[in-house]
Structure 1
Amino acid sequence: MRILTSSTVRVWTGWTVGRVLLVIVALGVLRVPHTDVASDVKVIYQGWAEVLRTGTFPMDDVTWQYPPLAGFVMLVPLWLPGSYFAGFLALVALCDAATLHLLVRAGGGARSGAWLWVAAVPLIGPTVYCRFDLVVTTVAVAATLALAARPRLAGVLAGLGAMLKVWPVLVLVGAAPRGRIAGRAWAACAVTCAAVCFLVAVSTHGGFSFLGFQGARGIEVESVGALPFYAGSMTGLWHGRVAMHYGSLEFLGRHVHATSVAMVALSLLAFGLLTLWRLRNRVWTSATAADAALTAVLLFTVTSRVISPQYLVWLLGSAAVCLTVPGTRMRPVAWLLAVAAPLTFLEFPLYFGELVKRSLLGTSLISARDLLLVAAALVACVRLWRAEDGPAADDGGPLTAVSTAPSERGPTELPVRPAATVR
């Protein structure tokens, strides 16, 4: 039997205190000004669940923009005792605890990844417990941690995650080409996605209606693409408006469509950059998979036309995994994301009305948060690209790296010396 260490007890104590506070706020015992963060669960999610239990997806609701397995998450609270909202909170809390358990186990004696998860997630605010993204993040964290040793399991988990909310498939970007790890992972992911799609197609109606709704989205007010419109509104150079459109508040007016196209182009460019990195990378360490996963999710987020507050939990989960791995180069990125978390709580829900009005306060908050995310993405790209230079100075300890450079003898185990201390 494993004996709990004092550091593990402190981690779980911190998690319990933070999550009790989140639940108290989510239940309305302590109220967040200006908005009811639980309304999505109580009204929208529960309404979807009532439709889904009939065997059909909400095909006529443009706000349904999720892959078919998300419907299963919506149904689970109906099967639990108590109210739908209480069941949803229980499901999210269970996934939150499972994520921390995975991080504690993966970190061994190191607790920085676990502490990032414990401390930073509550800083996003109660929204994180009133959306289903924490469930998806748990699956993605498990997939990333399994990738090096159990690629097929990682592929299955990534496939399930992709059928929940697409982005978890990005964790496979860092799968090593040696030993056919990448091939096994991607094959397992493809088979899992195909199996889920087949089951959905033969047993339900409208499981793929989300594709049309998602493609029609524009520039949401919290996205990086929205920043030029805030600046234009402040200076009087842009005279569009903010309105509800496809389930979120978006900018509507001149140049919005062009900006939307540009954001999609930037997403394609980002994935091209990741592909180029894979083709040129020759050293794969235990940190490569985690670092590449965080970089990919960051690029996906900052080039997306929508950045909802709960997306920060994706990034914090990926960053926490990086901090469990000796040799990660993503520590600066993790701390940038930790700073972005409370800014996210300020912009939603506390001062979301200021964003809609495009006031100086609202513009400043969303600009600071989004520019932090852009900075984190750029730092992640640079540090991932330079990973062949050896472990970063603050990564601590030797690693075992595998070179995949062409050689008559094949891949060779290379000892990597600890980097010199930066003065």
Structure 2
Amino acid sequence: MAATRLPVGAPVPAPAPPSPAHGAPVVLLGWVTARLVVAVVYAATDFAGRSLAWGDLALYEFWARQIAATGAMPDGVTWMYPPLAAAVLLLADVLPGPFGPGFVALVLLADLAVLLLLLQAHRRGSAHPAGMWAWVVLVPLLGLISWARLDLVPVVFAAAALLLAARRPALAGVMAALGTSAKGWPVVLGLLFLRERRWLAGALVAGTAVAVASTLLLDGTWTFLRNLSGRGIQVESPMALPWTLQQALGTPVDGDFVNGTYEVLEPGAAVLARVATLLMLVVVGLGLWLSRRRTPALRWYVAVVALLATSPLLSTQFVLWLVGGAAVAAAVPGPDGRLARRTLPLVAALVLLTHLTFPLQWGGLVGDGQLAAASLLVRNLLLLGLAVWLLVAARGGGDGATVDVPAREAPVGG
């Protein structure tokens, strides 16, 4: 049916109210139910993977106590976080009760914050409901590790930076700076808003404030940069694909724990780690250039997928970056959102296979298990396939719609 042409100067009709199937009570009930299911399954099932998923909380507590006692960042090589991560750990430590539940409660609040931002955009009529439902479903598919690691915190800030960009650009810039201060990868957001002065001003002011305050208050604020520089090829990374295939075919792979992660120690791995870092920068830049006429949300999604597909590091919790990018991009109305929504089944498969790899099959993966390697191989091939598909599909122009501003239909012939 042809679109109805509106008379010149006629008011644009208000967006239709959300249907009951996408109302706040239903969405919130879905959010609570999905997370309760994960809690019940992990609590009722006695398996080694539960302690693996929960295990880093003891390290986080140790770091928090060390920071509080010494006034300095942790001195071990496993500390690889920007300064705001320390603030999150200290906050969890001062909450009443044990550290672990306090930390999980904080991350759950961050999880809920993303949903509320997506729900608010939907209620204004400027977001597709698939975005919030993707967030409701995909985060729990990763299991307990979603809330037992720091990574949901920067995901929240990155999502807020995109969802608020059209209406509150200065605040959006602040959110991006805070996300980068918790874990470095949201810095890529700055490349999407180079021409937005208020966005950049907010980011620069907030980033400078965090940098100055942390440098004055804590010794060793920037040691994490040195620790990051010596990383190799993590076994879960797509860059380890040749050795993952080798193990899946039955030949053991030499590897060991280095700087807190299990890395490939086969000949050529160290050289590939250096090449992979350069490749990652090139591919992310290519993705941003190819998608330059697309919406910021879709461009962010493309960049995150490109980063994960080419990074020498890919811990399980990094997949939450992909989930956040997919959910926000899927909320965009118009062609860009439809493109992102077509990827959601593939993203769900990626998340489930990641959960299967860690913690469920982790013992087999680091112990030369063929089935575990085969699961990881499939996951990484799907991730590479998603990256290639997005790079190709994101070329050209979109409709210019954003999550925050309702898209208006162009008149017939326009």
TMscore range, shorter length: 0.7 to 0.9
Aligned amino acid, residue 161 of structure 1:
G
What is the Cα-based RMSD across aligned positions, in Å? 2.8
Tell me the CA shift for residue 172 of structure 1. Answer: 3.9
1:196 aligned residue: 210
Instruction: After superposition, give the CA deviation of every residue in 1:341-361 in whole Å (9 maximum; x if it has no partner).
Output: 111111111111221133321
Q: 2:322 matched to 1:306?
A: no
Query: Scaled by the length of structure 2, what TM-score is found?
Result: 0.86
Supply the distance in 2 between the matched residues of 1:385 and 1:3 (Cα, whole angstroms). Answer: 31
Matched position secondary structure for 1:250: strand
2:133 aligned residue: 115
Q: Which has the higher contact order (CA 8 A, sep 6+)?
A: 2
* Unpaired runs of at least 5, structure 1: 393-397, 402-414
Conserved? CA contact 1:32–1:349, under 8 Å: no
Q: 2:103 matched to 1:85?
A: no
Q: 2:13 matched to 1:13?
A: no
Change in 2 beyond 3 A, CA 1:231/1:52: same
Query: Scaled by the length of structure 1, what TM-score is found?
Result: 0.84
Aligned amino acid, residue 257 of structure 1:
A
Tell me the CA shift for residue 53 of structure 1. Answer: 1.0
Tell me the CA shift for residue 335 of structure 1. Answer: 2.6
Tell me the CA shift for residue 68 of structure 1. Answer: 0.9
2:224 aligned residue: 210
Change in 2 beyond 3 A, CA 1:33/1:213: same
Instruction: After superposition, give the CA deviation of every residue in 1:367-416 in whole Å (9 maximum; x if it has no partner).
Output: 1111111122222222221335x599xxxxx9459xxxxxxxxxxxxx38
1:67 aligned residue: 82
Matched position secondary structure for 1:243: strand
Conserved? CA contact 2:248–2:374, under 8 Å: no
Change in 2 beyond 3 A, CA 1:188/1:354: same
Q: 2:46 matched to 1:36?
A: no
1:57 aligned residue: 72
Instruction: After superposition, give the CA deviation of every residue in 1:81-106 in whole Å (9 maximum; x if it has no partner).
Output: 11111111111111111111111111
Q: 2:278 matched to 1:268?
A: no
Change in 2 beyond 3 A, CA 1:289/1:133: same
Instruction: After superposition, give the CA deviation of every residue in 1:255-276 in whole Å (9 maximum; x if it has no partner).
Output: 0011101211211212331453
Q: 2:200 matched to 1:186?
A: yes
Q: 2:223 matched to 1:243?
A: no
Change in 2 beyond 3 A, CA 1:367/1:387: farther
Supply the distance in 2 between the matched residues of 1:120 and 1:310 (Cα, whole angstroms). Answer: 13
Tell me the CA shift for residue 6 of structure 1. Answer: 5.1
Q: 2:136 matched to 1:98?
A: no
Supply the distance in 1 between the matched residues of 2:252 and 2:29 (Cα, whole angstroms). Answer: 50
1:406 aligned residue: none
Matched position secondary structure for 1:54: helix
Tell me the percent identity: 34
Supply the distance in 1 between the matched residues of 2:92 and 2:385 (Cα, whole angstroms). Answer: 38
2:149 is aligned, of 128, 131, 141, to 131
Conserved? CA contact 2:288–2:299, under 8 Å: no
Tell me the CA shift for residue 116 of structure 1. Answer: 0.8
Supply the distance in 2 between the matched residues of 1:266 and 1:204 (Cα, whole angstroms). Answer: 34
Supply the distance in 2 between the matched residues of 1:310 and 1:3 (Cα, whole angstroms). Answer: 32
Change in 2 beyond 3 A, CA 1:34/1:152: closer
Aligned amino acid, residue 178 of structure 2:
L
* Structure 1 residues 260-409: aligned runs within 5 Å: 260-274=273-287, 276-277=289-290, 281=292, 283=293, 288-327=295-334, 328=337, 329-388=339-398, 399=407
Supply the distance in 2 between the matched residues of 1:214 and 1:134 (Cα, whole angstroms). Answer: 20
Aligned length: 387
Change in 2 beyond 3 A, CA 1:50/1:59: closer
